Structure 1
Amino acid sequence: MSQPTFTAPDLDTFCMVDALGLTVTGQHLEPERAVLQCRVREDDPWCRSCGGEGIPKGTVLRKLAHVPLGWRPTQLWIRVRRYRCPDCLRVWRQDTTDAAAPRAKLSRHAVLWALKSVVIDRMSIARLAAGLDCSWHTVNDAVLAAGRQLLLEDPRRFDGVAVIGVDEHCWRHTGRGSRYVTVIIDLTPVRDGTGPARLLDMVEGRSKAVFATWLGTQSEDFRAGVEVVAMDGFTGFKTAAAEELPEATAVMDPFHVVALAGDALDQARQRIQRETTGRRGRSGDPLYGARKTLRTGVDLLTPGQGSKLDRVFGSDEHVELEATWSVYQKVVAAYRCGSKPAGKQMLTEVIDSLRRGVPAKLVELKKLGRTLNRRAVDILAYFDRPGTSNGPTEAINGRLEHLRGTALGFRNLTNYITRALLDTGGFRPLLHPHLR
């Protein structure tokens, strides 16, 4: 824009009221707010009942919150003319639906500005309410209504979904227990390398029935298009997917497989700590001091960390821990292998080794082996479906935690689901011209 073309100043265009069917007739500026006096551009004095020409009968004032201009809340004071038909005595007002919805307190531009701020800029409703000089409930109701109309009710939102992830999410912590929802994520953009994952839907509860019911309510085209379902170790999600999506491949993602092996390692360390010392680990105990180093991949260990592990494994009391640590490292190495076939072979050997010949004293490895053996098909399916992981699902869970923190918590689940879909649903202004 080195040589822009200038035109005559136009207050209507600058304040974005021309698209609302208004024109500015006056202004009142204060440090805390700005007020623009407007009138309706189109004059329509014709009676809609008999077609007669109406007689002006004064004006009424309609106040609307508008997009903040100059870092201060801006209001539109619209002088709306009233008419009375001399023939049928009908009374009406000028049409202001271009400026705002009936009975609305925000202009249409203000609603879209607030929606854009929530979806793209991830601002809080409280901050938007301060910028618009409106109550929290007024802004929240407007954002949720516009979001449902423009984004959530878009019939194309579920098009092209081939890979989904499913997980549970705690949306509210209470003194009488936590409340959970089941989150369904579209992982197709991650697999195809076209963008980030996006939240498809949230359903109250966390069970096989919840996920199966959600799948059953989707269209035949949607269910037929799903090729892969990424999930954690919860068998309820797998059973629901097998019943409702029999042609889809279930994939247990690496995050949870490594987490299972890591949990076995931690449990073995804690058990040996209690058996050898009679208490929990404390600062200064070799096992307690090595708890983080044990979780570090072999290829990432520093010389100091390697020496620490040598000292831990040098004791005959820690032989069982070393065996469990070795299995954990093999699981990590399988997923870090640059070749998918080689990684699959490495993990297959680990599962086969845990299926037989594990000493009874290695209770953590025996339990891990039963789990890996039961879900072996789902675990190994990851290597045949590169790019399919539930990791982005965990990332979206983190985004939802940030949303709850920004809002200082939610009490209404419906509002939370709508806000979560708007915040993490992958909506962008290029996809939705109304938000440009």
Structure 2
Amino acid sequence: MTGLAVVGVADDTDGPVVHLVTADERARHCPDCGARARRSKDRRVTRPRDLSVGSRRPRLVWAKRRWRCDELTCRRRSFTESVPPVPPRKRLTTRLRAAAGAAVADQGRTVVQAARDYALSWPVVAGAFTSHARAVLPAQPEPVQALGIDEIRRGRPRWIPDEATGIWQTAVDRWHVGFVDLSGKQGLLGQVGGRTAQAVIAWLADRDQAWRDAVQYVAIDMCTIFKSAIRRVLPQATLVVDHFHLVQLANQTLTEVRRRVTVTHRGRRGRKGNREWELRNRLTRSAARMRGEHVDALLDELSNLPRVIGAPITVAWNAKEDLLDLLATARTGNRSAICCTGSTADAPTPTFPNCSA
């Protein structure tokens, strides 16, 4: 390592013990004022951790000096020697930290696996990966045409008390918001903590105006937080609701209709022996993924139920299947084939390439 010299090596059962001293003259210069120190205050011994050599991990013992800064205008009165391979107040060498970050970024290892391989803690490897990614990624993502926004839950929230007000403040939020490029190949653009409109606005505000003007479509779930943020920062963008949540809402509506008519007609919740309750899982399946005879059997089962139960469920099921057929046209590239008899037949439907949502 540049700036260090080996003065002795001793064998031990856990690996070699390497004794080091400082060999860089620049280590005597004050890090604040740059003046060369002339008086030594005392000596310190540190044990920075380094990469393994084969199957053995050497233990470094660095004896370094603490110097006095005699410059009257310098606020720092003393300082300890440091070299680039071992920065000040660091217990790891830079190459060990870089190797741990590269293992996660370039070698496909998880943070837990890299921490286990290099005998480091999870926070240290996570920080090394962040530093590695910050060095290789561009400062700003390239402009995107279609932007996707969604939240993810990570762990548990943590709070700390505010001594001034006595109110508990959120220190770690379990909700994170991710921004994804849906029309290009950039993938995940960024992730921020907190599921709030201000968190989304702050991330978008960090992009320049040209980047924000290039966004034409924003795909979100049915979250009013994201909607309000987009309307404030990206007023020109068209909001698009992703297919998953639309289908989920349709299935929830179908389930609510089934439960309501069962309670109204039978005076209780559905149970074994009630055919509409036994068909609950088949009703929420897509007919396109079922065999034709199974779909016919399902419709026959619904027609054999009492009309006050079977008719509303059949109408809700048909509406759900019509929605699935409509959403399926997004993957065909031929939306002119959509045939609707309602007032929304001529409504424009936003599209963007390379996006199935």
Q: TM-score, normalised by structure 2?
A: 0.71
> Is 1:200–2:190 an aligned residue pair?
yes
Checking the alignment, whether the CA contact within 8 Å between 1:67 and 1:110 is kept in structure 2 is yes
Q: CA deviation at 1:301?
A: 0.7
Task: Measure, in 1, the Cα distance between the counterparts of 2:299 and 2:155.
Answer: 44
AA partner of residue 62 (structure 1): T
Residue aligning to 2:150 = 167
Residue aligning to 1:76 = 60
Task: Measure, in 1, the Cα distance between the counterparts of 2:263 and 2:282.
Answer: 19
Do the aligned partners of residues 97 and 146 (structure 1) sit closer, same or farther apart at CA in structure 2, a change above 3 Å counting?
Answer: farther
> Is 1:123–2:107 an aligned residue pair?
no
AA partner of residue 200 (structure 1): G
Deviations 1:259-299 (A, max 9, x none): 22222222222223323433333345422332222222222
AA partner of residue 334 (structure 2): P
Task: Measure, in 1, the Cα distance between the counterparts of 2:189 and 2:217.
Answer: 16
AA partner of residue 152 (structure 2): H
Residue aligning to 2:311 = 319
Give 1:210-229 correspondences, 5 Å limit. Answer: 210-229=199-218
AA partner of residue 99 (structure 1): P
Q: CA deviation at 1:339?
A: 3.1
Q: CA deviation at 1:223?
A: 1.7
Q: CA deviation at 1:105?
A: 0.5
AA partner of residue 179 (structure 2): I
Checking the alignment, whether the CA contact within 8 Å between 2:21 and 2:64 is kept in structure 1 is yes
Do the aligned partners of residues 288 and 50 (structure 1) sit closer, same or farther apart at CA in structure 2, a change above 3 Å counting?
Answer: closer
Q: CA deviation at 1:325?
A: 1.1
Task: Measure, in 2, the Cα distance between the counterparts of 1:287 and 1:322.
Answer: 11
Checking the alignment, whether the CA contact within 8 Å between 2:45 and 2:62 is kept in structure 1 is yes
Give 1:234-249 correspondences, 5 Å limit. Answer: 234-249=223-238
Q: TM-score, normalised by structure 1?
A: 0.60
Q: CA deviation at 1:198?
A: 0.8
Please point out which of 317, 338, 348 is paired with 1:345: 338
Which segments of 5 or more consecutive residues in structure 2 lack a partner in the other structure? 70-76, 160-171
Do the aligned partners of residues 45 and 265 (structure 1) sit closer, same or farther apart at CA in structure 2, a change above 3 Å counting?
Answer: closer
Deviations 1:133-170 (A, max 9, x none): 56x4xx62574377258618966243334432222334
AA partner of residue 260 (structure 2): R
SS at match of 2:92: coil
Q: CA deviation at 1:240?
A: 2.8
Residue aligning to 2:85 = 99
Checking the alignment, whether the CA contact within 8 Å between 2:101 and 2:131 is kept in structure 1 is no
Do the aligned partners of residues 166 and 248 (structure 1) sit closer, same or farther apart at CA in structure 2, a change above 3 Å counting?
Answer: same
Q: CA deviation at 1:321?
A: 1.1
AA partner of residue 77 (structure 1): V
Deviations 1:24-68 (A, max 9, x none): 55353535x55444455656698788879x799997533111234
SS at match of 1:258: helix
Task: Measure, in 1, the Cα distance between the counterparts of 2:124 and 2:239.
Answer: 39
Task: Measure, in 2, the Cα distance between the counterparts of 1:105 and 1:352.
Answer: 65
Give 1:83-162 correspondences, 5 Å limit. Answer: 96-119=82-105, 121-124=108-111, 131-133=117-119, 136=121, 140=123, 143-144=126-127, 147=130, 151=134, 156-162=139-145
Q: CA deviation at 1:226?
A: 2.3
AA partner of residue 127 (structure 2): L
Q: Name the structure where helix makes up a greater proportion of residues.
A: 1
Identity of paired residues, percent? 20
Q: CA deviation at 1:334?
A: 2.2
> Is 1:65–2:32 an aligned residue pair?
no
> Is 1:294–2:268 an aligned residue pair?
no
Which segments of 5 or more consecutive residues in structure 1 lack a partner in the other structure? 1-17, 86-90, 354-375, 391-436
Task: Measure, in 2, the Cα distance between the counterparts of 1:387 and 1:252.
Answer: 16
AA partner of residue 190 (structure 2): L
Residue aligning to 1:415 = none
Checking the alignment, whether the CA contact within 8 Å between 2:102 and 2:132 is kept in structure 1 is no
SS at match of 2:256: helix
AA partner of residue 279 (structure 2): A
Task: Measure, in 2, the Cα distance between the counterparts of 1:256 and 1:78.
Answer: 59
Q: 159-168 or 149-158: which moved more?
A: 149-158
Q: CA deviation at 1:102?
A: 0.1
**Please, what is the CA RMSD of the aligned residues?**
4.4
Checking the alignment, whether the CA contact within 8 Å between 1:182 and 1:206 is kept in structure 2 is no
Task: Measure, in 2, the Cα distance between the counterparts of 1:173 and 1:349.
Answer: 49
Do the aligned partners of residues 142 and 325 (structure 1) sit closer, same or farther apart at CA in structure 2, a change above 3 Å counting?
Answer: closer
Checking the alignment, whether the CA contact within 8 Å between 1:164 and 1:184 is kept in structure 2 is no
> Is 1:185–2:179 an aligned residue pair?
yes
Please point out which of 319, 330, 353 is paired with 1:386: 353
SS at match of 2:139: helix
Residue aligning to 2:267 = 278
Do the aligned partners of residues 102 and 143 (structure 1) sit closer, same or farther apart at CA in structure 2, a change above 3 Å counting?
Answer: farther
Checking the alignment, whether the CA contact within 8 Å between 2:257 and 2:312 is kept in structure 1 is yes
Do the aligned partners of residues 340 and 210 (structure 1) sit closer, same or farther apart at CA in structure 2, a change above 3 Å counting?
Answer: same
Do the aligned partners of residues 165 and 46 (structure 1) sit closer, same or farther apart at CA in structure 2, a change above 3 Å counting?
Answer: closer
Aligned length: 329
